[in-house]
């Protein structure tokens, strides 16, 4: 995969985050006060409807060193670029917030822990592979994950356990996703064998099979693991008879755009 410049990330956040008073002054993320209200509301809805809720706590690794070595304007570029990337990845799935400083939070209603892990690995991998600022810097992030009902049933517990998982991720070497309660790594093998999304990672035949199955019976399976695919978005492109869809596998994290018939 080519390392994209942060300025080249395709963004259109205005449609998803259009309440300016609720946004952070610097970043395209919701403010901490919105997070504090949302985590209570989403936890209540999770309990009432017996649906899952995933919380990701995300921290930029060695951020103080970035500011010390390159200056705060570059640090701001890193913050903005990372935030934009996170917003792009969670659009249509949940909400992203600035929790404080270089720490972000993501709430994913109606998500299972397994689905949250897949998305967290996609975010971690894409940040690692992205070039930020005019200084051409690479950065990494650490992510802690907790979920209802597996790990918590109250907002305080959900936050405490995601924070604990984030602390472990940084303690085990950073650039890592940790789930609350996950066994400690052995023999310094820090990163679990988790599947992550690979753009263009399926063949033309697989793409055609998804297209035919979806537009025939509105269902399609991931060609990698057989999991039912989620349809993140469906829209019409000019000159095509059937809609274009954006699909995601909740297990392996695969994301693809499937064009409808011409």
Q: Could you tell me the pTM of the whole model? A: 0.68
CA distances for 124 relative to 41, 57, 86, 116, 148, angstroms:
27, 12, 9, 12, 22
Q: Is 121 a catalytic residue?
A: no
What is the mean predicted confidence (pLDDT) over 14-34? 76
241 near 261, Cβ under 8 Å? yes
Query: In this structure, are residues 145 and 113 in contact, taking their beta carbons and an 8 Å threshold?
Result: yes
Q: Where are the domains of the chain?
A: 6-179, 204-258
CATH topology of domain 6-179: Alpha-Beta Plaits (3.30.70)
Task: Provide the pLDDT confidence category of residue 134 given band limits of 50, 70 and 90.
Answer: confident
Mean pLDDT for the stretch of residues 67-82: 94
Q: How far apart are CA 48 and CA 30, in angstroms?
A: 25
Catalytic residue among 77, 88, 102, 256: 102
Q: Is the pLDDT of residue 59 over 50?
A: yes
pLDDT of 183 reads 80
Q: Distance (Å, rounded) from C-alpha 215 to C-alpha 178?
A: 37
Q: Please give the pLDDT value at position 256.
A: 75
């Amino acid at each position: 995969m080519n390392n994209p410049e942060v300025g080249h990330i395709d963004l259109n956040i205005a449609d998803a985050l259009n309440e300016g008073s609720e946004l952070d002054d610097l970043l395209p993320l919701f403010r901490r006060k919105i997070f504090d209200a949302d985590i209570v509301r989403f936890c209540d809805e999770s309990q009432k409807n017996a649906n899952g809720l995933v919380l990701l706590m995300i921290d930029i690794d060695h951020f103080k060193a970035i500011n010390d070595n390159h200056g705060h304007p570059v640090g701001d570029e890193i913050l903005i670029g990372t935030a934009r990337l996170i917003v792009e990845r969670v659009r249509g799935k949940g909400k992203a917030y600035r929790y404080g400083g270089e720490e972000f939070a993501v709430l994913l209603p109606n998500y299972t822990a397994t689905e949250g892990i897949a998305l967290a690995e996609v975010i971690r991998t894409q940040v690692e592979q992205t070039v930020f600022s005019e200084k051409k810097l690479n950065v990494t992030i650490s992510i802690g994950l907790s979920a209802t009902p597996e790990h918590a049933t109250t907002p305080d517990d959900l936050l405490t356990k995601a924070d604990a998982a984030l602390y472990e991720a940084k303690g085990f070497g950073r650039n890592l996703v940790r789930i609350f309660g996950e066994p400690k790594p052995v023999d310094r093998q820090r990163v679990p064998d988790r599947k992550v999304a690979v753009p263009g990672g399926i063949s033309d035949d697989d793409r055609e099979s998804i297209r035919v199955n979806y537009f025939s019976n509105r269902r399609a399976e991931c060609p990698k693991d057989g999991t039912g695919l989620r349809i993140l978005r469906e829209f019409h492109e000019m000159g095509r008879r059937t809609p274009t869809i954006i699909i995601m596998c909740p297990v392996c994290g695969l994301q693809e755009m499937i064009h409808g018939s011409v």
